[in-house]
Structure 1
Amino acid sequence: MQEKVFSTELGDIAYWLSDGIDPSKPWAVFLPGLTADRRLFDKQAAYFQGRANFLIWDPPSHGASRPLPLEWTMDDLARWLHQICEHEGIRKPVLVGQSMGGYVAQAYMELFPESVSGFVSIDSCPLQRRYFAGWELWALKRTKLMYLSIPWKLLIRWGSAGCATSQYGKTLMRDMMEGYSKREYCDLADHGYRVVAEAVESERAFDIPCPALLICGRQDKAGSAKRYNREWTRISGIPLLWIEGAGHNSNTDEPKAVNEAIEGFMESCGRG
């Protein structure tokens, strides 16, 4: 992949483009979850090389997009992503967001509703206020002390096992977590959860203005992700695909099933 850098007022954002951009092929933009980096989508990058054009970023304050202070909002993430897409001439991409990446995609669509051809949520949740109980938002804004109270080695073990069911997925998550110091990881997680809560509490519409697909691991144990997805598909009518045997990072646990679902969805968007 081609590594590039986009400069913002807070710092530089690292991102990668697929090799051999083909104007005749569609674009996918892969957005990793909180504390994860571009490696979360390694299996997707390998599969879609030659099948589609794609962009993957290390989210601000993650991976190679450091140092970058924890001063960003959800809208900042969406605006920076849009600026990167504009800079690269990426028009009407399919946004593929895992967990936090799905929230970023929803903020992107809220701000730039005409600029997306499709949305794939992987183990993410809606940003609309009606899905969240008040205590859940309260808890999202108060995670730092809980994280800091857990020994780092134990936190890594719990974090990697809680996000994935496959050995590949667990090892990958562990490697990504070990790229941070304990304090850096806890501060990043705390800030990310607060940003999500603040976006939900804004009570904006966060409508999905394009075709969409929800993907969720059948063994996803992260918070209430499965409950949110059941309600999301029930209320919105957006199709929900359960991935058998997969956890919260279902694209690392069952990449074949997820890749084929994304590819089929992108083809349907192209036909539309």
Structure 2
Amino acid sequence: MLGQEFSADGGIVRYWTSCGRAKAPQLVFLPGLTADHRLFDKQIEHFVPHMSCLVWDPPSHGSSRPFKLGWGMADLAQLLRAILQREGFTQPVLIGQSMGGYVAQAYLDLYPGEVAGFISIDSCPLQRAYYTAAELWALKHTRAIYQSIPWKMLLDIGSRGCATSAYGQKLMRQMMSDYSKREYIDLAVCGYRALAEAVLADRPYRIDCPALLMCGDHDAAGSAKRYNRAWERHTGLPMRWIEGAGHNANTDAPEYVNMLIERFVADIG
């Protein structure tokens, strides 16, 4: 993977690319809130030899720091599009874990017809109808809760709450540990607020391309499992429950997730 930099108004966004064969499928990996490109190490290792891949550290995450906070989902989608255009990713398959899935849905909403496929990993729908007013209020008022928890306990909660496997828990703890407690809380608060505002915008967020939903059957992050059941029921999108996996299903069951991605890409041609 070749490291690249993209200059934006809020700072520098860092990302990594590989060039596959001519006309090879273009996979774009979008990590979740407070995670970074390492979240997809097992996917990059598997797909780089025969597909074109791109993975980023989202603004304010990982090596894309310092970056001014206050961005929204549409801002991230616009930045992502500029990067994909620069790299010649004209028909990407967007693969988003948690917040990465929200960014992908914002992208689909803003740029219909530009995406070859969408894979959601432990993400949730962005349509307003799925959320209660209480849930949206809670998303915008998380700071006090986070601040009340000692940093070591936050690291334990975050790593064990996101993954069931030893590998997944260790990786999440490593990614979290790169932040100070204050930096981590500021980022989490910004991300949750961005999610709430994207939902409250009440846009259609129509998925106009082939799509696949995945969710760990041990996902304990908020109401992710309930949202995914409703998402499948209301849209008819194919759903795959990842046995034994938590919120970071692609780190808990990488071989199975890679197989599902591979089949999806083959099916869309």
TM-score, normalised relative to structure 2 = 0.99
- CA distance in 2 between counterparts of 1:122 and 1:151 reads 29
Alignment of 1:4-153 (within 5 A): 4-18=4-18, 20-153=19-152
Instruction: State the SS of the aligned residue for 1:90.
Output: coil
Instruction: State the SS of the aligned residue for 1:23.
Output: coil
- CA distance in 2 between counterparts of 1:212 and 1:10 reads 31
Deviation for aligned residue 1:51: 2.3
Is residue 21–residue 50 contact of structure 2 (8 Å, CA) maintained in 1?
A: no
Q: Which residue of 2 aligns with 1:265?
A: 264
Instruction: State the SS of the aligned residue for 1:4.
Output: strand
Deviation per residue, 1:87-116 (Å, 9 max, x gap): 011111100000000000000000111110
- In the alignment of these two chains, the number of paired residues is 269
Instruction: State the SS of the aligned residue for 1:24.
Output: coil
Instruction: State the SS of the aligned residue for 1:215.
Output: strand
- CA distance in 2 between counterparts of 1:137 and 1:125 reads 14
Instruction: State the SS of the aligned residue for 1:191.
Output: helix
Instruction: State the SS of the aligned residue for 1:136.
Output: helix
Unmatched runs of 5 consecutive residues or more in structure 1 = none
Moved more, 57-66 or 47-56: 47-56
Is residue 219–residue 246 contact of structure 2 (8 Å, CA) maintained in 1?
A: yes
Deviation for aligned residue 1:75: 0.7
Q: Match for 2:120: what amino acid?
A: S
The runs of at least 4 consecutive aligned structure 1 residues that moved more than 4 Å come to none
TM-score, normalised relative to structure 1 = 0.98
Q: Match for 1:3: what amino acid?
A: G
Is residue 20–residue 48 contact of structure 2 (8 Å, CA) maintained in 1?
A: no
Q: Match for 1:4: what amino acid?
A: Q
Unmatched runs of 5 consecutive residues or more in structure 2 = none
Moved more, 242-251 or 46-55: 46-55
Instruction: State the SS of the aligned residue for 1:78.
Output: helix
Q: Which residue of 2 aligns with 1:183?
A: 182
- CA distance in 2 between counterparts of 1:133 and 1:157 reads 29
Deviation for aligned residue 1:197: 0.2
- CA distance in 2 between counterparts of 1:85 and 1:268 reads 23
Deviation for aligned residue 1:209: 0.6
- CA distance in 1 between counterparts of 2:71 and 2:241 reads 32
- CA distance in 2 between counterparts of 1:191 and 1:267 reads 37
Deviation per residue, 1:217-236 (Å, 9 max, x gap): 00000000000000000000
Q: Which residue of 1 aligns with 2:229?
A: 230
Deviation for aligned residue 1:155: 0.4
Deviation per residue, 1:18-61 (Å, 9 max, x gap): 2x432221101000000000000000000101121110000000
Q: Which residue of 2 aligns with 1:161?
A: 160
Instruction: State the SS of the aligned residue for 2:65.
Output: coil
Deviation for aligned residue 1:72: 1.1
Is residue 34–residue 175 contact of structure 2 (8 Å, CA) maintained in 1?
A: yes
Q: Match for 1:132: what amino acid?
A: Y
Q: Which residue of 1 aligns with 2:194?
A: 195
Q: Match for 1:148: what amino acid?
A: Q
Deviation for aligned residue 1:71: 2.2
